[in-house]
Amino acid sequence: MNANNPSDTTVHPYTREMAMIHQVFRRESRLLAELVQEVRPGDTARSRILAEHWRLYSVGLHTHHTGEDEMLWPVLLPHLDLDAEQVLAMEAQHHELSDGIAEVQQLMDLWQDRARPEDRDALAEALRRHHRQLCAHLDEEEREVMPLVALHVTAEQWHAIGERGLAETPRNRLMIALGAILEDASPEEREEFLGRLPLPARVLWKLLGQRQYRRETTRVRGRRTTV
């Protein structure tokens, strides 16, 4: 979900958007480990729901990282000298994360059809490892790389990256993606993010999107508190 308006007169990209998107991946990777661990042995209805949520999460994370690798880093690197090492480190970490994601996928495939407790425990541990690795990567990217993006990437270039991610999001998932971004946002962030969206998107969120997101989070999280 891209909230960066290309008509903005600001020189700098709306990099706060990146931290809000990162928070989605932090939260969902943590919740996936917790929710998997809570599944009762043999509860395949629940295991399949979580396996599908993992699939959507991992596709979203892959799209996010591919967008950075193919569109953000090539724009940023020509402006850097010694700081280029930070960007190259981000690329390397994306590859390392891919290995962990592949491990989780293998274990998820093993667990989802029978929901055996030993498979569940191995999967939950792999998800916890993924969460720790991902959070370390996102923390470093926000601390070291986003200030460089703010200095060297234009609002138009930033918008193009967001548009790519938006185009790769299925239309029936757009309001769910928006809800995921807004869930942990502060009131000020919510107001700013929504204010950057086109009016039809804001109206759709108010009329339909909030209910759609509540239904989705209830389905995935069960009895856990939802927005």
**What pLDDT score was predicted for residue 82?**
74
Average pLDDT over residues 183-194: 96
Task: Name the percent of the chain lying above pLDDT 70.
Answer: 93
**What pLDDT score was predicted for residue 7?**
44
Mean predicted lDDT score pLDDT of the chain: 93
Please, how many CA atoms are within 13 Å of residue 71, restricted to the half-sphere of its CB?
16
**What pLDDT score was predicted for residue 11?**
65
Q: What is the CA angle 61-62-67, rounded to 5? A: 100
How many other C-beta atoms are found inside a 10 Å radius of the C-beta of residue 127? Answer: 26
Summarize pLDDT for 127-159 with one digit per residue, the tens: 999 999 999 999 999 999 999 999 999 999 999
Summarize pLDDT for 66-125 with one digit per residue, the tens: 999 999 999 999 999 878 999 999 999 999 999 999 999 999 999 999 999 999 999 999
Average pLDDT over residues 186-215: 96
**What pLDDT score was predicted for residue 8?**
46
SS3 7: coil
| One-character DSSP codes across 55-94 | HHHHHHHHHHHHHIIIIIHHHHGGG-STTHHHHHHHHHHH
Q: How far apart are CA 80 and CA 148, in angstroms?
A: 9
Q: What is the pTM of this model?
A: 0.91
Please compute Rg for the chain using Cα positions.
Answer: 18
SS3 18: helix
**What pLDDT score was predicted for residue 225?**
53
Task: Report how far apart the first and last C-alpha atoms of the chain are (Å, whole number).
Answer: 18
